[in-house]
Amino acid sequence: MLFQVGGQGARPTFFEMSAAQQLPSSLRAALTYSLGVLALRRPFLHKILDYEDEFFALLLLVLETHSLRTTDASFAESLYGLRRRAVKIRVKKDSSPADMSDQIQHSGLEKRQKVLSVVFMVVLPYLKSKLHAIYNKEREATLQASLWGHGDDRYEYGENYDGEGSSLVSGRSLDRNAPIREHLMKRIQKIVGACYPWLHAGSEGVSFAYQLLYLLDATGFYSLALHALQIHVCRATAQELMDTSSRISRIRSHERERLRGPPWLKALQGALLSCTYTVLDYAQTGLIAAVFFFKVAKDGIPLPLDRKICPLCSQKRANPSVLTASGFVFCYACIFKYVSQYKRCPITLMPANVDHIRRLFHDI
């Protein structure tokens, strides 16, 4: 058979690898969605959404580092029971895949490989998403320029620059370097705008090629990053799965032994370590479970397609009234009854009370 579909041998199937690779982006989409819904009720969460890339990169950094230290696999791979192994492949060109797996010499991951794995899994995707944002901005600016002309280029740019979060003061005060900096930033944006599509196409093309070759069993590496690091992803053996917990406790007791200082400081550090361990232990599965339960359990009632229909009784609104906490309109009787009982908006679940209800006398 040309390619392996069943789950035999140490080599994971294409579908396992693909699922493991997609997990972080699915998790990110689910987290962003959950935060978006939560932010409707708790506006301070918009701050996290403003720095979504950084927040998610930091989260992944913690998860991946922990996972590589304890299981020799990425966060997603360890959920699928896969492990990373350093390989030195001495393969004759004509050898069959069965021989190939015999000839692979397994050895533990070196520290360099673990660090670079984190770079490939967290830092590079983060940088790419930043480039993507700059590219989008540049494309918008080009579009605007083509629509409105280049006349107020400088003004537009100043606006963008302030919008980026840099201080207004430095932009407006007599900072002599500002025009140079603006010019430089603009040049960088232009360069990114010109190069990014090629970079993106190149990276997508290479990963597509690797995945196709992996599917056809022509290579043992699922991606260029794994090839560059000389790492094979394999199914964990039963022994490895059992060893994981003893390995974690070994690492932890070693860390506890390394604590220095007076007894109170040691106790404090020990307590902090215990907290960190508990959080890390539950972070992986807890995160996925929380997002799942949030999506299932915590949604408000859906909005009807017809705007004249009350979301609560699904009939034409009688005495339309707006709930000022969220801005949605219901029948007066329906929303009064709901808010007195549940103290929240039925759609966004934002906290509300009956003082937030306003009658509308000119309905649209």
x/- map, 271-310, Zn ion, by CB under 5 A: ---------------------------------------x
Phi and psi, residue 244, nearest 5°: -55, -50
- The CB-of-342 to Zn ion minimum distance in angstroms stands at 15
Which CB, 31 or 357, lies closer to Zn ion? 357
Residue 1: is it exposed, middle or buried by C-beta count within 10 angstroms (0-12/13-18/19+)?
Answer: exposed
> What burial letters (b/e) apply to 285-313, b meaning 16+ CB within 10 Å?
eebbeebeebeeeeebeeeeeeeebbbbe
Instruction: Kindly state the tokens that stand for 109.
Output: 């991951």
Q: Which amino acid is at 184?
A: L
Which CB, 234 or 323, lies closer to Zn ion? 323
Compute the distance between CA of residue 57 and CA of residue 352 in angstroms, rounded to an integer.
35
Q: Binders of Zn ion among 3-32, rule CB under 5 A?
A: none
Q: State the SS3 of 163-216.
A: HCCCCHHHHHCCCCHHHHHHHHHHHHHHHHHHHHHHHHHHHHHHHHHHHHHHHC
Which CB, 87 or 334, lies closer to Zn ion? 334
- The CB-of-328 to Zn ion minimum distance in angstroms stands at 12
Piece in contact with Zn ion (CB under 5 A), picked from 72-80, 162-170, 236-244, 330-338: 330-338
- The CB-of-335 to Zn ion minimum distance in angstroms stands at 7
Which CB, 236 or 312, lies closer to Zn ion? 312
Among 27, 234, 334, 339, contact with Zn ion (rule: CB under 5 A): 334
Residue 90: is it exposed, middle or buried by C-beta count within 10 angstroms (0-12/13-18/19+)?
Answer: exposed
Which CB, 17 or 331, lies closer to Zn ion? 331
Among 73, 231, 236, 312, contact with Zn ion (rule: CB under 5 A): 312
Asked if 322 is part of the footprint of Zn ion (rule: CB under 5 A), the reply reads: no
- The CB-of-309 to Zn ion minimum distance in angstroms stands at 8
Which CB, 192 or 331, lies closer to Zn ion? 331
Task: Please tell me the number of Cα atoms within 13 Å of 326 on its side-chain side.
Answer: 27
Which CB, 200 or 337, lies closer to Zn ion? 337
Piece in contact with Zn ion (CB under 5 A), picked from 19-27, 209-217, 295-303, 329-337: 329-337
Which CB, 61 or 313, lies closer to Zn ion? 313
Among 17, 331, 339, 349, contact with Zn ion (rule: CB under 5 A): 331
Instruction: Kindly state the tokens that stand for 248.
Output: 């974690």
Piece in contact with Zn ion (CB under 5 A), picked from 25-33, 222-230, 238-246, 311-319: 311-319
Among 145, 199, 288, 313, contact with Zn ion (rule: CB under 5 A): 313
Q: Which residues contact 6 (CB under 8 A, 6 or more apart)?
A: 13
Residue of 58, 51, 40 whose CA lies nearest to 164: 51
Q: Which residues contact 114 (CB under 8 A, 6 or more apart)?
A: 68, 69
- The CB-of-333 to Zn ion minimum distance in angstroms stands at 7
3-state secondary structure (DSSP) of residue 344: strand
Angle separating helix axes 177-215 and 124-148, nearest 10 degrees = 120
Residues near Zn ion (CB under 5 A): 310, 312-313, 331, 334
